[in-house]
């Protein structure tokens, strides 16, 4: 019933000079996300975006709900600039809304219309009260608001405001490299980075044959689930060859440090790859204190291998909050599939929760750091993962 969607973006309007760039990027992202679904033109006017539907507004809204930068969407009814037609439209919108109290809010950018805004609100309020006996007016705290805008193109009416993701348009910030395991946390970290406009690329550490082919497929699947949120609807996924490092670590004479050492290797490889690929930050799923490698001491020692910025969007979230987000994003079901990744196959019985840097350096003195990192990078493969649908 709604021929039009009104798309609102908030924060962008604050961005001064860059505003046009941001708006254009948002438009591009919207158009890209809508590919494959029938729709009309997407146009930008006065800080809002309008999308013409093809009778499938719900399907279009579902797509828009995965586009960062959109604050909310309203399905809009359009009527001729004629009071009777507007009243008829108002009835339809009210019928499609829920609540027992209402008010009418009118804006009249088109001053050619003979009635003033308060007069229109009044006329429509009367009309609604007459036709919907269960409704009463409440101007302070109404259950529903009928919005009416009188523009050159006609009268726009809507009541629904469907919240969307907010954030900044995908790709508006720069490139970041997400350390993507098969777990619950790292996809959520990637999601939050994308929310702030980061174009992410994934990096997975693959330890076959210590882990199975299925564990890699699972990571590819997670990447595909993140892809719709990412710039261009796809995600580059680097699969780093981690087997030799795992073997070397198992031989270490400091078994309780193996997780710390493993994480340091991961960051070394990630930092080198980020420099090569010109990514501006590493992104990890660390949440403070969740496991041995995420204590402040561990993070301190692990972080010491690189000066690249590391974003940890989950640092302050509880596990349940992360799980809730993973469910909302749609990665949870895949994350809990029980294929071992290297973090679960190699967990020592008593990992150190307070590793000391001197110890760690002593343990690493046994290893051919340079050679192992070099080999891992050389044998890294790149997959282009596209969103599904």
First to last CA, the chain: 25
Q: Distance between CA atoms of 198 and 175, rounded to whole angstroms?
A: 6
The answer to the question of residue 345 lying near another protein (CB under 8 A) is yes
Q: Does 211 bind another protein (CB under 8 A)?
A: yes
Indicate the residue among 321 and 368 with the shorter CB distance to another protein: 368
CA–CA separation, 108 vs 89, rounded Å? 17
Tokens of 147: 């919005």
| Closer residue to another protein (CB): 106 or 246 | 246
From the list 119-127, 210-218, 234-242, 277-285, the region that binds another protein by CB under 8 A is 210-218
Total site size for another protein, rule CB under 8 A: 13
CA 100/CA 47 separation, integer angstroms: 32
Query: Which residues are paired to 283 by β-bridges?
Result: 178, 311
Q: Does the footprint of another protein cover residue 208 (CB under 8 A)?
A: yes
- Among 52, 96, 297, 340, interactor with another protein by CB under 8 A: 340
Asked if 349 is part of the footprint of another protein (rule: CB under 8 A), the reply reads no
Is 212 an interacting residue with respect to another protein (CB under 8 A)? yes
The contact mask relative to another protein for 264-303 (x = CB under 8 A, - = no) is ----------------------------------------
CB 298, min distance to another protein, A: 23
CB of 184 or CB of 235, closer to another protein: 184
User: Binders of another protein among 82-101, rule CB under 8 A?
Assistant: none
Q: If you search the block for the tokens 């009249």, which residue do you land on?
A: 108
SS3 sequence of 230-293: CHHHEEEEEEEECHHHHHHHHCCCCHHHHHHHHHHHHHHHHHHHHHHHCCCEEECCCCCCCCHH
Least distance CB 354 / another protein (angstroms): 24
CB of 347 to another protein, least distance (A): 12
d(CA 241, CA 276): 17
CB 346, min distance to another protein, A:
9
Residue 217 touching another protein (CB under 8 A): no
Token digits for 141? Answer: 């705290």
Look at residue 366 and give its three-state secondary structure. Answer: coil
Which one, 20 or 251, has the nearer CB to another protein? 251
Give which of 217, 176, 179, 222 is closest to 200, Cα–Cα.
176
Q: Are 179 and 223 in contact (CB under 8 A)?
A: no
132 scored as a contact of another protein (CB under 8 A): no
CB of 239 to another protein, least distance (A): 16
Q: List, in order, residues 6 or more apart from 337 with CB less than 8 Å away.
A: 182, 218
Q: Which of 15, 110, 210, 377 binds another protein (CB under 8 A)?
A: 210
Any long-range contacts for 44-50 (C-beta under 8 Å, 24+ apart)? 47/9, 47/13, 48/6, 48/7, 48/8, 48/9, 49/6, 49/7, 49/8, 49/9, 50/4, 50/5, 50/6, 50/7, 50/76
Could you tell me the smallest distance in angstroms from the CB atom of residue 358 to another protein? 23
Contact between 366 and another protein by CB under 8 A: the answer reads no
What string marks each residue from 233 to 262 as x (binds another protein by CB under 8 A) or -?
-------------xx--xx-----------
Binding site residues, another protein, CB under 8 A: 208-213, 246-247, 250-251, 338, 340, 345
């Amino acid at each position: 019933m709604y021929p039009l969607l009104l798309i609102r973006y908030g924060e962008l309007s604050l961005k001064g000079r860059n505003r046009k760039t941001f708006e254009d990027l948002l438009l591009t992202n919207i158009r890209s996300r809508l590919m494959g679904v029938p729709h009309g033109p997407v146009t930008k006017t006065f800080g809002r975006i309008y999308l013409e539907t093809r009778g499938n507004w719900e399907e279009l809204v579902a797509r828009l709900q995965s586009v960062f930068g959109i604050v909310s969407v309203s399905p809009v009814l359009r009527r001729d600039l004629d009071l009777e037609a507007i009243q008829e439209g108002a009835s339809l919108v009210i019928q499609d809304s829920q609540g027992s109290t209402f008010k009418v809010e009118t804006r009249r950018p088109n001053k050619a219309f003979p009635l003033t805004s308060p007069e229109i609100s009044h006329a429509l309020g009367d009309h609604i009260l007459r036709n919907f006996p269960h409704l009463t007016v409440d101007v302070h705290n109404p259950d529903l608001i009928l919005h009416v805008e009188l523009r050159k193109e006609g009268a726009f009416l809507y009541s629904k405001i469907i919240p969307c993701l907010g954030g900044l348009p995908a790709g508006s910030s720069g490139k970041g490299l997400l350390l993507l395991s098969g777990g619950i946390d790292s996809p959520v970290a990637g999601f939050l980075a994308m929310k702030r406009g980061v174009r992410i690329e994934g990096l997975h550490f693959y330890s076959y044959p210590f882990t199975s082919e299925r564990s890699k497929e699972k990571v590819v699947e997670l990447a595909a689930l993140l892809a719709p949120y990412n710039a261009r609807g796809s995600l580059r996924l680097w699969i780093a060859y981690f087997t030799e490092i795992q073997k070397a670590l198992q031989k270490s004479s400091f078994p309780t440090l193996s997780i710390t050492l493993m994480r340091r290797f991961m960051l070394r490889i990630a930092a080198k790859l980020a420099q090569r690929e010109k990514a501006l930050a590493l992104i990890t799923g660390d949440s403070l204190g969740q496991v041995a490698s995420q204590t402040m001491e561990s993070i301190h020692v692990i972080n010491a291998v690189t000066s690249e910025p590391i974003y940890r969007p989950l640092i302050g979230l509880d596990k349940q909050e992360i799980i809730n987000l993973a469910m909302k994003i749609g990665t949870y079901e895949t994350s809990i599939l029980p294929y071992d990744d290297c973090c679960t196959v190699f967990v020592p019985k008593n990992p150190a929760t307070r590793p000391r840097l001197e110890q760690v350096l002593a343990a690493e003195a046994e290893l051919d750091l340079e050679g192992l990192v070099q080999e891992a990078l050389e044998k890294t493969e790149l997959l282009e993962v596209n969103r599904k649908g």
